[in-house]
């Protein structure tokens, strides 16, 4: 296959700083079209990146037969409707996380991708961080060999902080974005809309990483979500043979406060995830071996950026016809867990 012809939808903050440059600079693709409702912004970004075709809507872009795949970087509320149009037009699709704001929409996206035989990848970029990949490899090895005994507990912690790390500023104009009302589950009280959408947007990452390391969540045991952001929240998850704790909240901090720690009978693996927009710095991995060994190991990973690697993975999946690591089929499980967390909190 020749270079993948990419159509890009949306060129706001994340589009410009986290995604578009990675696709523009890849040797595996060519960004040939951009769809952006804000006319002046679209023209400025298209000119900067030498994108030849500019459309006022994603529907026009979908009609372009010269496009193989679409990268959709818009607000959460638009992921599902735009994705469905692109998938039904026969375009492979990369969409930001969370893939949708309801499980029903996530299911429709997966069904559309399968029906049209195209790839659907969700941008869980942390899965492609070299440090995360190293930690997952170690977890699988220790579970297989039994060197540290069995897994006894897992703790995922995210209170955020500085996620931008002075990455730079995007092109902006005086144009305003239209207000979009998100689709929410029909059982969710309106007063919890903001809380639900915020939780889904940020902490779906942590749920996704837990599943990436340890497999599927069997049940949401407890969900204490009574205080609004930035107050802390606690969720207890049952993985079958052990429990996990998801503790989340918010903080004003120079640091990025995110950790995943997997406990074994005789040690643990700790993963410190970097600020999302800190380029070329992988997650830090620490391994403690207890028992008679009493040893701390720090395996280093190559310098690289998870956003760049996720873009390359999407292109590789198209070129070699393989299922993305963060496929739509896999990612909708995170949406299911988020809904189950809020149902547990509401006693449904």
Q: What's the pLDDT band for 28 if we cut at 50, 70, 90? A: very high
**What digits encode the pLDDT tens for the residues 238-297?**
999 999 999 999 999 999 999 999 999 999 999 999 999 999 999 999 999 999 999 999
* % of the chain beyond a pLDDT of 70: 100
Say which CATH superfamily domain 126-304+335-346 falls into. Dihydrodipicolinate Reductase; domain 2 (3.30.360.10)
- Can you spell out the DSSP letters for 250-283? ----SSEEEEEEEEETTEEEEEEPPPTT-TT-PP
pLDDT tens for each residue of 108-153 = 999 999 999 999 999 999 999 999 999 999 999 999 999 999 999 9
When the pLDDT of each residue in the chain is averaged and rounded to a whole number, the result is 97
CB atoms within 10 A of CB 343: 15
Map out the domains of the chain as residue ranges.
Answer: 4-124+309-326, 126-304+335-346
Range in 44-58, 85-99, 220-234 the model is least confident about: 220-234
pLDDT in tens, 3-23: 999 999 999 999 999 999 999
Q: Say if residue 178's pLDDT is above 90.
A: no
Judge whether residue 305 has pLDDT over 70.
Answer: yes
Nearest to 109 by CA among 84, 89, 86: 84
CA pseudo-torsion sign 316, 321, 326, 328: positive
**pLDDT at residue number 1:** 62
Q: How many CB atoms neighbour CB 133 within 10 A?
A: 20
Q: What is the arrangement of strands in the sheet containing 120-122, beginning at the earlier edge strand?
A: 53-55, 29-35, 4-9, 69-72, 92-95, 120-122
If phi > 0 it is left, if psi is from -120 to 50 it is alpha, else beta; for residue 229 that is beta
The model carries a pTM of 0.97
Other CB atoms within 10 Å distance of the CB of residue 252: 8
User: Tokens 């961080």 appear where?
Assistant: 129
C-alpha torsion 62→68→71→75, nearest 10: 20
**Separation CA 287–CA 301 (nearest Å):** 14
Q: Contact 84/320 with Cβ under 8 angstroms?
A: no
| DSSP category for residue 327 | B
- 168 dihedral zone (left: phi>0; alpha: psi -120 to 50; beta): left
- Residues 16, 317: Cα–Cα separation, whole Å: 23
Answer yes or no: is pLDDT of 157 > 90: yes
Token digits of residue 304: 């690289």
**Which pLDDT belongs to residue 26?**
98
Instruction: Calculate helix-pair angle for 193-214, 76-88, nearest 10 degrees.
Output: 60
C-alpha torsion 88→73→11→322, nearest 10? -70
| Helix, strand, or coil (residue 119) | coil
What is the model's pLDDT at position 266?
A: 97
- What are 327's strand-pairing partners? 121
4-124+309-326 maps to CATH 3.40.50.720: yes
């Amino acid at each position: 296959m020749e270079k993948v012809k990419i159509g890009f939808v949306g060129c706001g903050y994340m589009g410009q700083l986290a995604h578009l440059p990675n696709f523009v600079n890849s040797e595996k693709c060519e960004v040939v079209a951009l769809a952006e409702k804000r006319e002046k912004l679209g023209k400025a970004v298209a000119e900067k990146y030498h994108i030849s075709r500019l459309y006022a809507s994603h529907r026009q872009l979908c009609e372009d037969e010269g496009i193989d795949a679409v990268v959709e970087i818009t607000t959460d509320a638009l992921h599902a409707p735009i994705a469905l149009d692109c998938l039904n037009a026969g375009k492979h699709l990369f969409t930001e996380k969370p893939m949708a704001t309801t499980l029903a929409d996530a299911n429709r996206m997966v069904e559309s991708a399968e029906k049209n035989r195209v790839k659907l990848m969700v941008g869980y970029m942390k899965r492609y961080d070299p440090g995360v990949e190293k930690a997952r490899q170690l977890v699988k090895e220790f579970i297989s060999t039994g060197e540290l005994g069995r897994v006894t507990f897992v703790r995922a912690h995210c209170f955020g902080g500085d996620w931008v790390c002075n990455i730079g500023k995007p092109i902006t104009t005086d144009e305003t974005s239209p207000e979009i009302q998100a689709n929410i589950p029909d059982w969710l009280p309106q007063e919890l809309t903001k809380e639900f959408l915020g939780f889904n947007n940020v902490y779906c990452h942590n749920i996704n990483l837990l599943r990436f390391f340890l497999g599927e969540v069997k049940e949401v045991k407890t969900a204490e979500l009574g205080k609004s952001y930035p107050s802390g929240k606690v969720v207890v998850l049952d993985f079958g043979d052990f429990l996990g704790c998801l503790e989340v909240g918010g903080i004003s901090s120079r640091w990025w406060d995110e950790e995943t720690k997997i406990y074994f009978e005789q040690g643990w693996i700790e993963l410190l995830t970097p600020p999302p927009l800190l380029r070329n710095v992988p997650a830090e991995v620490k391994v403690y071996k207890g028992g008679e060994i009493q040893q701390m190991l720090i395996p280093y990973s190559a310098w690289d950026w998870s956003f760049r690697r996720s873009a390359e993975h999407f292109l590789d999946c198209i070129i070699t016809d393989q299922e993305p690591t963060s496929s739509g089929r896999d990612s909708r499980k995170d949406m299911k867990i988020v809904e189950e967390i809020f149902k547990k909190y509401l006693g449904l």
